[in-house]
Structure 1
Amino acid sequence: MRRFGLVGRPLVHSASARYFAAKFEREGIAGCRYDLFPLREIGELRRLTDEIPDLCGFNVTIPYKRRILPLLEALSPEAERIGAVNCVRCDGGRLIGYNTDVEGLRASLDELLADDRPEEALVLGTGGASQAVQYVLAERELPFALVSRDPLRGNFTYDNLPGEEVARCRLIVQATPVGTFPRADEAPRLPYDALTPRHRLFDLVYNPPLTRFLELGRQRGARTMNGERMFVRQAEASWRIWNG
């Protein structure tokens, strides 16, 4: 049996196990299973890999995309530049980190923006997912500002983010877990009245499909996209990595 899975905490929102179970059945892939591995802290990872010697690879989600780095033997060049990992390949006892979030982000932004090019972007959050977002925006030479709960890590906090900044940044990327099931009634604290039909809102959350953040954007006429396309693309990229 070839084993795969997802490590993080909490995992109640995740569709990964269902996605891979459906993939295995649809594509006739035998002898494989994908499980959820909620770890109380990332130090439990080595115990997990010792207990499951047939673990071939796993995905990584909040809050461990950066905390896992010291436990890995190697990083792909892209993961090293990003500074965050969401995919790990187990190679003869060595753990090798990759970042497949960027593939999903590129595809999602291509669809959301099409031929539109916002002058500036606003990225909500400064965690591991945000680092992948920043990497992809930098690839496109699209200037961005960061909003963080920590005043030392962002250009703005949620308490001092001016409406003028929101109005100017026509692309807003929500890269935090706020609004994820089961707390689907929550949304980042923004001056939503500054949004217009020219705005593009991208939420990395895919459960629920319509987050409160996206709903508030739609009420102002903004074009929106959730994280489902990104989720599928990063999952398929992970599968390719695990299978060499």
Structure 2
Amino acid sequence: MKRYGLIGYPLGHSYSATYFARKFEREGIADCRYDLYELPSLDKLQELLAAEPELRGFNVTIPYKQQIIPLLDDLSPEARAIGAVNCVRREGTKLVGYNTDVLGFRSSLEEFLGAAEIDRALVLGTGGAAQAVQYALAQMELPFDLVSRNPRQGNYTYDDLTEEVIASHHLIINTSPVGMYPKIEEAPSIPYAFVTPSHYLFDLIYNPEQTQFLRYGEQRQAHTCNGLQMLFRQAEGAWAIWNR
């Protein structure tokens, strides 16, 4: 039995196991299994690997996309450039890190925007997922600014967001976990009153499918998109890496 899985903490929000179970059933893949491995600390990773010798690869989610890098033997050029890993391939005793978030995000964003011309993007959050988003935006030559609670990590803090800032950033991307299940009543603290029908709001969160962030955008008649297609596309990217 070939095993795959997801590590992170917590994992109650994750749809990955369901996605792969349906993939295996749909494609008639009988010798594979995908499980959730909720690790309260990365100190437990070696214990997991010892207990699961058939584990051929795993995805990585919050809060470990950056923390896991020192534990890996090698990185793909893209993962090294991004500075975050969401996919690990196990090659015997060797662990190699990759980033398929950038693939999933970029293809989803391009489909979402269509022919729209965007002046500048505002990226909410500066964690591991934000690293992949920044990389993709740079590939697309789309200028962006970062918003962080820590003034040393972003161009703006949330308190800095004025009408002028929102008006000059017609793409707003939430890379933070704010609003993710089970805290579905929460939303990033931005001035939604200044969002217009010309704005595009993209939330990397997919559980719930409509976050408060997206709901507030819809109330202002903005275009909205959740992270479900990004999840599917990065998952397929990981599957290709594990089975090449």
- TM bucket, shorter chain: over 0.9
Structure 2 residue 151 is matched with structure 1 residue 155: no
Quote how far apart the aligned CAs of 1:80 are: 0.5
Tell me the equivalent position of 1:59.
59
Amino acid at match of 2:209: P
Tell me the equivalent position of 1:184.
184
CA distance in 2, matches of 1:57, 1:111: 29
CA distance in 1, matches of 2:64, 2:87: 11
CA distance in 2, matches of 1:60, 1:163: 36
Tell me the equivalent position of 1:90.
90
Three-state SS of the structure 1 residue aligned to 2:111 is: helix
Deviations 1:15-71 (A, max 9, x none): 111111111111110111111001111121111111111110000000000000000
Structure 2 residue 117 is matched with structure 1 residue 112: no
CA distance in 1, matches of 2:152, 2:48: 34
Quote how far apart the aligned CAs of 1:169 are: 0.1
Q: Equivalences for 1:219-234 in 2 at 5 Å? A: 219-234=219-234
Tell me the equivalent position of 1:7.
7
Give the TM-score, by structure 1 length. 0.98
Structure 2 residue 197 is matched with structure 1 residue 170: no
Structure 2 residue 201 is matched with structure 1 residue 201: yes
Amino acid at match of 1:105: F
How many residues are paired up? Answer: 244
CA distance in 2, matches of 1:150, 1:47: 34
CA distance in 1, matches of 2:103, 2:32: 24
Quote how far apart the aligned CAs of 1:163 are: 2.2
Deviations 1:63-85 (A, max 9, x none): 00000000000101101100000
Tell me the equivalent position of 2:133.
133
CA distance in 2, matches of 1:117, 1:106: 15
CA distance in 2, matches of 1:108, 1:19: 17
Tell me the equivalent position of 1:76.
76
CA distance in 2, matches of 1:89, 1:117: 37
Tell me the equivalent position of 2:146.
146
Give the gaps of 5 or more residues in structure 1: none
Quote how far apart the aligned CAs of 1:160 are: 2.1
Amino acid at match of 1:204: L
* Identity in percent: 59
Amino acid at match of 1:216: Y
Amino acid at match of 1:103: L
CA distance in 2, matches of 1:243, 1:93: 17
Three-state SS of the structure 2 residue aligned to 1:58 is: strand
Quote how far apart the aligned CAs of 1:147 are: 0.4
Quote how far apart the aligned CAs of 1:141 are: 1.2
Deviations 1:183-236 (A, max 9, x none): 111000001011110000000000111100000001111000000000000001
Amino acid at match of 1:15: Y
Amino acid at match of 2:17: A
Amino acid at match of 1:174: N
Tell me the equivalent position of 1:48.
48
CA distance in 1, matches of 2:130, 2:183: 20
Tell me the equivalent position of 1:28.
28
